[in-house]
Structures are given as structure tokens and as C-alpha cells.
Structure 1
Amino acid sequence: MTQTTDRALRTSRLKFLLVVLVFTAPIVAAGLLNLAGWQPTGKGYGQPIAPQRNFGQEHVQVRLAKGQMWPWRDTSPRLTLIALAGPGCAAHCVDTLTKMAAARITLNNNMDRLRLLYVGQPPAEAATDGMENYWQLGTDVDGRLAVYVPSIPDSVTALLVESDGTALTLYPAGFDPSGLRKDLQKVIH
């Protein structure tokens, strides 16, 4: 071999090793971080429901205002956002409900992938505020959702429920509706 051919061969091998290193370095780094116990965490604004519950399997019954029962499994895969109001739902409660409905609207083309269900006594001004335009109104027949109802007057808690009826996330009384909106944009895309 000539010196020029030998030099070109070494340069070619070096380039090949650099390409291999570029593709394997992130995999090796991820493996080392995993072995060290580090796991990435996503910032969610709600609290995971543990132990998980499946409202469909538990036969949690919500009767809608028109008399039919709420179908936990829908004809198409859609999440359900349940609002549960504390005693005396008034101005603050209605404001939170309005922001929750607005969070659905910000999903744009995907807003049909989220159903809004209000469970409990509707606010006094519900009919005049047009609440029925955005929310399905229902009552908890057996009181099985009572554990999530806030005791704080004029407050709301929210539950995000998967399309199969599995409760995913709880947003306790006083939650930030803009955080809920961000979470919805992450899971509904």
C-alpha cells in the first residue's frame, strides 16, 4: 500500500468510528443514568389517583339530567373531565367551571376528544350562565364519587378519566385551571 492509500483508510475508519460514537453515546448515557437510579419525571399539575379506580368496572352510576346513565365507555375514545362542586357553588366555583370549559375549547380540533361532566347540584345561575351548553349535568346515584367532593364551600375538584373509565388524575379544590389546561394539552393531541 502506498502512504496516501494508508492515510485515506485511517481517515475513513476514524470517520466511521465518530459516526458510531455519535449514535451510541446517548444510548450509553441513558443506560448509565438508569443504572444510577435517575428517572425523568414529567411535571403534571394534578395528583395521580392511587390506587387506580375504574368507574366502569365498579359500576359507578351517574344519572344525567335527561334521565339516562352516563356511559363511561363512549362510542369513540374520549377522556372525561368530571367537575365535583363543594357546598354552595357560587362565584368562585362558577369561575373555575368556566375556565375548565375554556380549557376544552383551547384544544381546538381535538376538543371533541374531551367530554365535560358536572356531577352534583348545579349552581343557581347554571341555566342563565349557559352551563348546559358545555357541561353534561348529572348526579352520583350511589354516592360513590363522594370521596372526591370538596368540603370547602364554593370550590371545585376535577377528575380526569380515561376513555375506558379509569380515573387518572385528581385536581383537588383550589387547583390552578391553567395547569389543568396544560395537562389536557399534553394528553390530548
Structure 2
Amino acid sequence: MKTRRYQMTARAASAQDTADRLIDAMLARFRTTSYPALRLDDVARDAGVTVQTAIRRYGTKDQLLAATAQREVQRIAAAREQPAFADPATAVAALCEYYERDGDLIARFEADAVLVPALADLARQGRAVHVRWIEEVFATRLGDDRELRLAQLIAILDVRTWQVLRRERALGPHNTRRALEALVASVG
């Protein structure tokens, strides 16, 4: 009986390891490859499995990308619970560090949500996490004109604003953070 339970546990662990490797491989490819050019064969090879295994586990490239995005949304939500994200004095710096690591990835997920229907809902979920975080952390800044100030903070702290400063205007990480902190300070 113990041997059979161990075999089932080992099989489940192996299946989870395969699923994790596929998601990790999809994430790595998605960081550098446009969605239309992304091939399931390449992702499977990177994960060390066959295409058939990837299809059996996730079905399609769209579904694998959706599973990858779902994991990333959960990771974002968990990161926003860290103390640096919860303190208005350190929140912008924490967000900028996060964007340095994952800002381009988030922007890619958002942009490709129009190509992959399963991503659209996840993009909405990610934005909802972001808005709730702003509402909680910057609650004291919202004041009487709550909706206007909330809209301003959402725009200021959006990944696209970070991209304009960091990528389009080529500000370094320090100056990008300073610019966003000054913009946040100007609200209320």
C-alpha cells in the first residue's frame, strides 16, 4: 500500500515538475519572442519535453500562455503584499524595482491580450490587483476628490508610464523612480 501511495505521489510530483518547466520555458520565450513567432515546439524543447507532452498538459499555445500569465498575476499579487509595497514612502521605489525586472513582460502581456483571448481576462485581473494596491497604499492621498486622484495615481503608476520614462525617454532607474515619486507627490 505504501509503495503504491509513494508511486502516485512521485507521479504527481513529476507531473507538477513538467508543468512548471513548461511554464518557465514559456515565460522565458515570451520575454524575448513576439507571440505570433512563439512556437510550442521551441517551448517544449526548452522544457525538455515533447510537443505532445505540452499539448497533453496544456492543450494549446494560447492555454499554456494563459497558465503562465495566471502564475505571474498570482506572483504580482503576492509581491504587492511585501512591506516595501505597503508603505507609501517606499511603494514607488518597490514598484520601480519590480518594473525593472518585469515591466517589459507585463507590457507584453497587456499588448498580446488582444491576440490571445485567454489573456484578456488575466490582464483585467492584473490591472484590478494594481488598482486595489493603489487604493490601499495611497488611501490618505485620495481625499475628497477620490475618483480624480485615484485615476491620476493609476495613470502615474501604470507600467506604460514607466515604459515612457525608462524605455522611450531612456531615463536610468534612479531618475525614473525620482520622476514617478515627483508625479505621485503632485497628487493631493
Question: Which TM-score bucket, shorter chain as reference?
Answer: under 0.3
Where is the helix percentage greater, Structure 1 or Structure 2? 2
Task: Select the structure of larger CA radius of gyration.
Answer: 1
Flag the structure with more relative contact order, 1 or 2, with Cα contacts below 8 A and sequence separation at least 6: 1
Where is the strand percentage greater, Structure 1 or Structure 2? 1
Length-normalised TM-score, structure 2 = 0.22
